Amino acid sequence: MARLRIPATTPNLAQRAAELRALGLEGASVAIDSGRELRYLFPVAPSDVGRTYRCMLRVLPGRRPPEAYVLDPNPITLANGSRPPHIYAQACPSVMLCLWWPPQREWMPQMRLGDTYVPWTCEWLWYFEYWLATGEWIGGGQHPPHPDRSRATLAAGPRKGYQAT
């Protein structure tokens, strides 16, 4: 197994943008909003037989972990309103993925997004499609308990800036 190359310092948003552009994913785009946040929109097809999802990484300056979203199609809608494993409870039309367990320090701010968040998003979607087909989550992992929220609350709500277009 190849080792991840981990830089000594945390990349800034411009460096993150250059890294993501260098991935060369067809249909992907990078935007930086006034130096306050980076948004990387990218399509993902987790397998040759799976559908294509529109995803977004939201990256803030500094050491805060990025956020990975599935914008379209909505996994909760695809699951007929059931809550898929390893998502964060929130009130917005997109779904924020839980890709790693913070107590295990599986991600550090110095890590490249092209080695972590982008492939982890694709991997999550592969496990999600398997879960849709079989009802079994084989992706492993842990997730903290979430507040008891209704499916309507999870699937509702727009939060500005995170709507699928």
CA distances from 133 to 50, 53, 137 (A): 11, 17, 10
pLDDT at 83 over 70: yes
Q: How far apart are CA 35 and CA 13, in angstroms?
A: 7
Q: How far apart are CA 43 and CA 95, in angstroms?
A: 15
pLDDT digits (tens, 9 = 90+) for 102-153: 777 889 999 999 999 999 999 999 999 999 999 999 988 876 565 544 333 3
The rounded percent of the chain whose pLDDT value lies above 90 is 62
Q: What is the pLDDT of residue 138?
A: 92
pLDDT digits (tens, 9 = 90+) for 14-65: 999 999 999 999 999 999 998 899 999 999 999 998 899 999 999 999 888 9
Its pTM stands at: 0.81
pLDDT band at 159 (very low <50, low <70, confident <90, very high): very low
Q: How far apart are CA 57 and CA 71, in angstroms?
A: 10
In three-state secondary structure terms, 152 is helix
Average pLDDT over residues 70-83: 93
Q: What mean pLDDT is reported for the chain?
A: 83
pLDDT at 88 over 70: yes
pLDDT at 155 over 70: no
- Per-domain boundaries in the chain: 13-136+147-155
